[in-house]
Amino acid sequence: MMAVPVRNSELGAGTVLAVGLGLMLLLAVSAVVLLAQAAVLATKAASAADLAALAAADAARGLSPGEPCAVAAEVAGRHGARLVSCSVASGTVQVRTELPFHGMFGSATGLARAGPPPAVEDGAPEPARGPPGTGDA
């Protein structure tokens, strides 16, 4: 008598499952990488905006040479960002920068405002200073 082979309908199911899990893992890792890259670009755009606003505020107060918005554009450009908007009002400068995100998500933007320090009124406590010996005198 000849033995009849038993057919297993689940033969090869492990391969399909492994391929599916591998693709899901690849998709998850890709999403994490994209989110991390977007977070880094957002931080760079914010830093470029902060530095551009500070430099422009110094120019607006006459502490450094140049026209405030031109100075802001130069500083933003040195940090890989593009100056989108710049406004100067009574010594306070507000800038918006943009860093292109090479992908389908557009660009990262940063917004910052800088101006003169607040005036100390008579009888008001002086602003906090750093610990002695740190250079914040």
Domain ranges of the chain: 44-118
Q: Is the pLDDT of residue 133 over 70?
A: no
Q: How confident is the model at residue 37 (pLDDT cuts 50, 70, 90)?
A: confident
Convert the pLDDT of each residue in 66-113 to its tens digit.
999 999 999 999 999 999 999 999 889 999 999 988 766 788 999 999
| Residue 47 scores a pLDDT above 70 | yes
Check residue 59 and give its pLDDT: 93
Residues 6+ apart with CB under 8 A from 94: 53, 85, 86, 87, 111, 112, 113
Task: Note if the pTM is more than 0.75.
Answer: no
